[in-house]
Amino acid sequence: MKRFSLLFVIFLGLTLTACGGGQKINGHTTLTAYRSVKMMKERLPPENRVEFEVSFWTIRDAKKSDDEFLDAVDGKSPWEIIDAGKEIYQQRKASGFKGYEQYGSWEEMIAKFDKERIDQEKRPGSTKRDESKKNGTILYDLRAPNR
């Protein structure tokens, strides 16, 4: 019986691990997509956050209808979103999209946005959130203290 229990626990662990499949955007509604992106961004390495964010909003800008946008992002990983953002950038740049003419490449545009973000965080009185608080909010622990 102990063997069966152990095998069951191992099987359950493997099944749950396999179902995780990494981070994917939940594109059932725009609200769930935005929540997914917020969580995914926080889990990305800092050097990829701005690129991911710019890519996501580039897709959002290119796909005007909610249905088309949700179809484009649903089930995508952060790296797939970045690739899609780059592709849209290239298409728009080639067609002479206003606003992209000032950038020589995708990397140059991302570097500019990275620098702007860093400059914003360095300004006195910036609204950079306190990283010690989860999601930048105040959470109260209403449980009784351990004695």
6-45 pLDDT, tens per residue?
545 455 454 444 444 468 999 999 999 999 999 999 999 9
Q: Give pLDDT tens digits for 60-81.
A: 999 999 999 999 999 999 999 9
Residue 46: C-alpha distances to residues 32, 66, 106, 121 (Å) = 23, 29, 18, 14
Mean pLDDT of the chain: 80
Domain-wise residue ranges, the chain: 18-123
**Residue among 72, 63, 62, 53 at smallest CA distance from 100:** 62
